[in-house]
Amino acid sequence: MKTIGEIISKYRDRSDLIDLLSEVQEEYGYLSEDNMRIIEQSLDIPLVDIYGVATFYSSFKLNPAGRHIIRVCKGTACHVKKADMIEGVLDDLLGLRDKQTTEDGRFTLELVNCIGACAKAPNIMIDDKVYGELTKEKAERIIKEFTGQ
């Protein structure tokens, strides 16, 4: 694993901040406050500017992700076909009220604009696999398979 110092040493210009943050996230899995403070001190970029970039782009994560990423499609087709209900089922089964990652670090729930499987709405993606035409029961069955319940 590269150290944060090794990564920063490749970037000397403020215009490289997105590339720097991308590499840090790739190496560590997310952008920790400690790493952002080290970037602030090393490159003399105010923390508020670093945080502004990290929160503007949805690809940046400020918290560690779970081993399995569950993406709930919130696109128009999924919304019309009750994606909110599917999100609620996942929240209940995984105990994710007001959180994105389960206590045990197994799952992270993300809301996304589109998965690209509109014909099978509503749908979710777990890791790289799409599960479509979801009902409450089907969503429960899928999650129970992953959790071993």
Instruction: Please spell the DSSP secondary structure of 1-21, one letter per residue.
Output: ---HHHHHTT--SGGGHHHHH
State the pLDDT at residue 100: 86
pLDDT at 58: 80
- For the chain of 149 residues, list the mean pLDDT of each consecutive stretch of 10: 92 91 95 96 95 92 91 95 94 84 91 93 95 96 86
Residue 147 is predicted with a pLDDT of 80
What is the structure's pLDDT at 8? 95
Q: CA-to-CA distance for 107 and 64, rounded, in angstroms?
A: 11
pLDDT for the residue numbered 1 = 82
Cβ atoms of residues 117 and 123 within 8 Å = yes
pTM of the model: 0.74
Work out whether the CA dihedral 11, 14, 19, 24 comes out positive or negative: positive
pLDDT for 132: 96
- The pLDDT of residue 31: 97
